[in-house]
Structure 1
Amino acid sequence: MIATNGYAVDSPEDRFHPFRFERREPAANDVAIAILYCGVCHSDLHTARGEWGGTRYPCVPGHEIVGEVTAVGESVTRFAPGELVGVGCMVDSCQRCGACAEGLEQYCENGMTGTYNGPTQDTGDNTYGGYSDRIVVREEFVCKVRHDREQLAAVGPLLCAGITTWSPLRHWNVGPGKKVGVAGIGGLGHMGIKLARALGAHVVAFTTSPGKKDDALALGAHEVVVSREKGEMKAHASSFDLILNTVAAPHNLDSYLALLKRDGAMVMVGVPAEPHPSPAVVHLIMKRRTLAGSLIGGIPETQEMLDFCAEHGIVADIEMIAMRDIDAAYDRMLKSDVKYRFVIDMATIAEG
């Protein structure tokens, strides 16, 4: 077994504390990774604090992992020690259902295995995530990282925030000639803006805060709309091919649905703790509009996204923190006090 240092919580009210545990030795198809950086996702907070239910304690969150391969199993062919790699939101799936066969492991019909808060496919044990210095993952769920080493910390959030926005952009064929809206300028939204712009779309950012206009333009938006201003919203009526809704708080969906053109779609990727108010059906049926959802992305999509970002020089906007500061980072996340993703420098994990 591999001795591993991590940070865990033992209950919804607990603060993080050092947690020592063991990872398995690499099996034939496993890749052992020394974690260099791990992004901090709002999902980590929801899970650690038991807000979505089903949290298994002790909980070691973290699914935006970038690291270096230290060892591989005898059957591994795609990776070698010393290579830079990434691990996202999944570490396993059944590998035999229709979804897995299509490279859509996130929709595994038998349940994918999350990078943290398990259960594992074999024993049902709890999985521990990237708030730790080591991880062992089967080869099929490891991605190559082709960014320069000095960009690695900012690559971490691509493994969740990046793929969560990339997957619907690709599924709904975003590219030149398409008008795309991105609602919410946070961890997910800022990546949605960058990726939609790089794909060639005309990008409009939506925010409730006039003070975020300059930030959204700097990220790559062509236009910015303050969603509380009815006149600004009305000016874009029936004009969007796609709206990527990243907002993780309940809000009125009808005001956005009215902005879609015929056959347009609004895709929900933010998950609020409470339900959204129910939208009016008339906005959907009058122009054959679609209200849809999307969950992260499959491993082939994730590798495609990482390669695209490396080619186009795209990374997340981050603030680096030490492992000991994770509770303070959670408190700041609740206040939206980060631009736009915290990333833990795992070299600090031994500092306590």
Structure 2
Amino acid sequence: MSTATDYKFEGWGAFDKNSIKGELKWFEYEPKHWQETDVDIKIKYCGICASDLHTMSAGWGEADWPQVVGHELVGEAVRVGSEVKHVKVGDMVGVGAQCDSCGKCPEACEKNREQYCTEMVGTYNGKFNKGEAKGDKSYGGYANYNRSPGKFVFKIPDGLDPALAAPMLCGGATLYNPLTLYGAGTTAKDVGIVGIGGLGHFGLLFAKALGANVTAISHSESKKADAEKMGATRFIATHGGGEDDFKPYARSLDLIICTSNDENMPLSGYLSLLRPGGNFILVGAPEKALPPINPFQLIPTHVSVGGTMIGSPEQINDMLELAAKQKIHPWIIKRPMKEVNQAVPDMHAGKARYRYVLVNEENGGKL
């Protein structure tokens, strides 16, 4: 058992795949064993991420029930282990989609790419694998408290609204990673963002902040005005996804970040938008296989298809500093955490414009 505290770990639990319908239940659970590398957080805000929905619905595979999802959590550090030096009790801090890694593998951890560690531990639906905590489940942010290893706890910069910072910790980092990795605003001057949703809107905001010319790509014009307010200077509506929808824009982009979860996406059309040497990077994760790729969509055009996942601690800290400096303002709608069973079905129905953030009013979160 973990060392006793004067607070209980309680949260909204997903006990089966019906939770996606708004059937989460409040319950008490035991967090990971306390280690002096850990931080306990009194949660004030938690974004609702599409990953939460995929887990609750078992769309990515059966979960280890019960689950407390939520990996965009921000709150007050109330207990800080003696080996944690970068935060102190009382600081506003957050945790993203990853809460641990092995810390020593040469392929990932030693290269500041911890999110690709083979022992990566998700902030929920994961199990810790070190010391006394080995085998303990990880629990996320639809809750009153969170316990996570300090390396993956981030201090929220002064001047950055913690409610705005919360959805950046997964959604924002998921776009910031490939944008910076593939040179948005430097070697990739013209950047396209596919899908104007919770992830895609971060793509538009950060691509603009990094100095790129930004093209929003969506199946219809319904979000054109919003996309332009977020920084897009061009808008491509793909409509039915036919060749004629893409032809006027052929070879006009250096980099495309695709946030779509549509397994029937017009992939060949997207690839036709890239200049030679361009990159098409997947960050959305459809629950089924993508359309097939003809080799002649790649070889004569010299374009590459790849994917990236969330952000490393180094990238997340850089992203938060950029957001504070440039006053990047995600489009969020605050929802009381106690009304999570209404907010989750609304998110699933696509009503968020463009990110829901749950507010734990009992812990001092502000609607």
- Per the TM superposition, whether the score is higher than 0.5 is yes
- What corresponds to 1:226 in structure 2? 237
* 1:243 matched to 2:256: yes
Spell out the pairing of 1:322-337 with structure 2 (5 A cutoff). 322-337=336-351
What's the offset of the Cα at 1:180? 0.3
- Contact 2:42–2:363 (Cα < 8 Å) also in 1: no
Question: Matched residue pairs, number?
Answer: 348
Displacement of 1:279 in angstroms is 2.0
- Describe how 1:3-152 pairs up with structure 2 within 5 A: 3-14=8-19, 15-24=23-32, 26-98=34-106, 99-109=108-118, 111-122=119-130, 123-148=134-159, 151-152=161-162
Counterpart-to-counterpart distance in 1, 2:62 and 2:306: 25
Per-residue CA distance 1:163-203 (angstroms, 9 max, x = gap): 00000011101115610000000000000000001101000
Q: CA deviation at 1:25?
A: 6.6
- The amino acid that maps onto 1:224 is F
Question: Are 1:155 and 2:165 matched, yes or no?
Answer: yes
**Letter aligned with residue 279 of structure 1:** I
Code of the aligned partner of 1:344? L
Normalised to the residue count of structure 1, the TM-score between the two structures is 0.95
Corresponding residue SS for 1:316: coil
Counterpart residue type for residue 163 of structure 1: A
Letter in 2 for 1:181: G
User: Is residue 156 of structure 2 the alignment partner of residue 164 of structure 1?
Assistant: no
Deviates more, 1:174-183 or 1:24-33: 24-33
Q: Tell me, yes or no, if the aligned pair for 1:322 and 1:349 is still in contact at 8 Å.
A: no
1:173 corresponds to 2:183:
yes
Residue 303 of structure 2: aligned partner:
289
Determine helix, strand or coil for the equivalent of 1:342: strand
Moved more, 70-79 or 161-170: 70-79
Which secondary structure does the structure 2 equivalent of 1:160 belong to?
helix
2:336·2:359 contact (CA, 8 Å) conserved in 1?
yes
Residue type at the aligned position of 2:248 = A
Which residue identity does 1:329 align to in structure 2? A
Q: Which amino acid aligns with 2:177?
A: S
Q: State how far apart, in whole Å, the 2-side matches of 1:216 and 1:92 are.
A: 35
The 3 A distance-change label for structure 1 pair 183 and 147 is farther
**Is the Cα–Cα contact under 8 Å of residues 204 and 224 in structure 1 kept in the other structure?**
yes
Aligned partner letter, 1:328? Q
1:4 is matched by which residue type in structure 2?
A: F
Residue 232 (structure 1) shift: 5.0
Distance 1:349 1:307 in 2: 25
Change (3 A) 1:315 1:22: farther
The within-5 A match list for 1:249-288 is: 249-250=262-263, 251-288=265-302
Q: Give 1:56 deviation, angstroms.
A: 0.4
Q: Following the alignment from structure 2 to structure 1, what is the Cα–Cα distance between the partners of residues 298 and 68? A: 41
| CA deviation string 1:84-141 (max 9, x = no partner) | 11100111111110201111111003x2000000111132222110111111222211
Q: Give how far 1:288 is off.
A: 1.2
Runs of 4+ with deviation above 6 angstroms: none
Q: Match for residue 319 of structure 1? A: 333
Are the counterparts in 1 of residues 32 and 138 from structure 2 also a CA contact under 8 Å?
A: no
Match of 1:287, SS? coil
RMSD: 1.7
For 1:106, the aligned partner's letter is Q
Q: Is the 8 A contact 1:104 1:298 kept in 2?
A: yes
Q: Percent identity?
A: 36
User: Distance in 2 between the 1:84 and 1:164 partners?
Assistant: 22
1:18 aligned counterpart, secondary structure: strand
Q: Is this contact kept in 1: 2:283–2:307, CA < 8 A?
A: yes
| In 1: Cα distance, 2:266 partner to 2:220 partner | 16
SS of structure 2 residue aligned to 1:285: coil
Superposition TM-score, scaled by structure 2 size: 0.91
